[in-house]
Structure 1
């Protein structure tokens, strides 16, 4: 992606990105590296993590499930060793969770979705905040979803978690603002890529229609009639971390082409 000079970060800027080895997280990681940041990522996919970190000098990584307390503690031991501190946190880790009517959802799958998407964000943030408070200012970006502002039938665990991210974001903005820490959420919509293609194909089979028709139906709910990319989300992260976002806090920014409904 092309980076505007105004989005450049201070020299030595240190960022932790959760689930940073693939998808949106990888796009965010690469954008931060491009503007000179030092980045530490975590991911549950050891192979993807190793492949990415081997390619970039200013990138280090840890295998970590953000829903497991002990693994998050190990992550921050690595952050302390590799970065020596922290200027920004990007809470990107999340899973789709189960799809189905509420009466069919396995309670274990419900719990797992909320543990990764919401409790994991808490576990990471609670250990990041002391590091961020050592600076004159800091930045936290939480990745929510368009599902964080709409009800989402048959995706109740995911929607509940992403609504929770909005509440966490607004609460932390109030709590941490006096320490100079800005906290915002990004709400992606339909993100292009293999994952979305798989969702469309599966839904098309269920509905008995062609994949192209299913995609058209999805995009009918988006004002701009197009998907967004990982780079679109990454660019917003850069904006929020940069001096251009110095007075933005407590905000939920839809990077979605204006999703009208789910």
Structure 2
């Protein structure tokens, strides 16, 4: 059965894209069929996957526009495949759908669409995600119409929270959005887990750890340390599993195993 997970936080720079990419690879290395979707007009995941242009066609924009404007679209053409070969000589493949800069305009168009909050749900049906074990969706840092669409279409959400108090302060907003979705759209989106990112050995990071555990929400045991290899990985357009002597690859593998085993702390 397919599980659709949004990677979401209305705050930027908390590690959403890195989580989407590297968790996706980690799950694929566990022999899971994975689809990654870039639902952010900034197209950072698209860049991470090796696509340089933000004007690229056959993107998520084309599929959503097709549904909004009721025009034909070859939805299967939107799905691309990438092969990953790790430094340990493991190989896996994952599918992905890119974003481009025109996605911002598509978000504006959803405001006037019929059943606008269901457009992304319809899109997932059009591309037929039933063959996948996991669909991971990278989202934009904004509580706008596009993020609402993604959340309504998702089974659960991973909320990355960086190790600053300011990041924790915004946590309540996305949790409220999930409550609103359940109340108004009769769809329960489970918090898969709070994921602490950019962790270092500071008092502030330790305070954030304590705060997350006291929220009453699922919190992942694995946390993402603050390491230069994360930026190196992104710039080289390679997952951390393709980076020599990567420490982060071990962490993301652990995160994948938590999700596969449902072992979050409550």
- Work out whether the TM-score is over 0.5: no
TM-score, normalising length from structure 1?
A: 0.45
Higher helix content, 1 or 2: 1
User: Which structure's relative contact order is higher, taking Cα pairs within 8 Å and 6+ residues apart?
Assistant: 2
